[in-house]
Chains A and B, each alone.
Chain A
Amino acid sequence: DAGVIQSPRHEVTEMGQEVTLRCKPISGHNSLFWYRQTMMRGLELLIYFNNNVPIDDSGMPEDRFSAKMPNASFSTLKIQPSEPRDSAVYFCASSSGGGALFHGYTFGSGTRLTVV
């Protein structure tokens, strides 16, 4: 398996532009997580899906952020409009356990977003 695949690896965009981050989870994993990592805040859970359904989006910072999972093999995180404070590394992770306990997550390599 190729692991969790994220694209793009790097994204530089101007303030106000729309940004879309993509994730392909590991085949057979039924849970998908979007995280954001910054030096100031560490690793923060933004939203997670179980069987393509959003379960908890309480970590999404504001309405500018939205996430979708149209099918079991694809998810997007969209920021519209983007702001400089959104600059961070965004990670996608998947797991074979959804909502249950004792499951480790496999992380993608991340998307480094810079908003100028």
Chain B
Amino acid sequence: SQELEQSPQSLIVQEGKNLTINCTSSKTLYGLYWYKQKYGEGLIFLMMLQKGGEEKSHEKITAKLDEKKQQSSLHITASQPSHAGIYLCGADTNAGKSTFGDGTTLTVKP
């Protein structure tokens, strides 16, 4: 089965600092999603990557999928307290269902 490993598990940064979260797959990624979750709430879709080398940005968040399609990174520029939460990567498996990483908990100190 396909597994997704996220790193780091948790991250504490000072407001205004940049940060990167990584998601590594044990198999080739056919579709990679990034979600954000506030504790106890649902997941909010951030962006989806499909092609090797693809990069997408939304406001201060940029996600990339590497050429070999086995790793993705999420980069936040000039972090703000509103960026705090749990970031999860999810992937489509060729079995038609999705799998998720364990999440990275981000804390942004004002």
Chain A interfacial positions (CB closer than 8 Å to B): 4, 33, 42-43, 45, 48, 50, 55-56, 89, 91, 93, 98-110, 112
Contacts and interface: CB of A to CB of B under 8 A. Distances in A.
Contacts of B97: 33, 45, 48, 55-56
B95 A107 contact: no
Contacts, number: 60
A108 B42 contact: yes
B99 to A, nearest CB: 7
A103 B31 contact: yes
Contact of A107 (B42, B48, B92, B102): B42
Given A110-B40, A110-B42, A102 B50 contact: yes
Interface in B70-110: 88, 90, 92, 94-103
Nearest to B31: A102
Nearest to B30: A101
Nearest to B35: A107
Categorize the interface residue count of chain B. Answer: 20 to 34
Contact of B102 (A4, A42, A103): A42
B54 to A, nearest CB: 11
Contacts of B45: 104-107
B30 A102 contact: yes
B96 A100 contact: yes
B40 A91 contact: no
B41 interface: yes
Given A91-B43, A101-B30, A42 B100 contact: yes
A69 B5 CA distance: 32
A93 B94 CA distance: 19
Interface in B39-53: 40-45, 48, 50
Contacts of A4: 42
A43 to B, nearest CB: 4
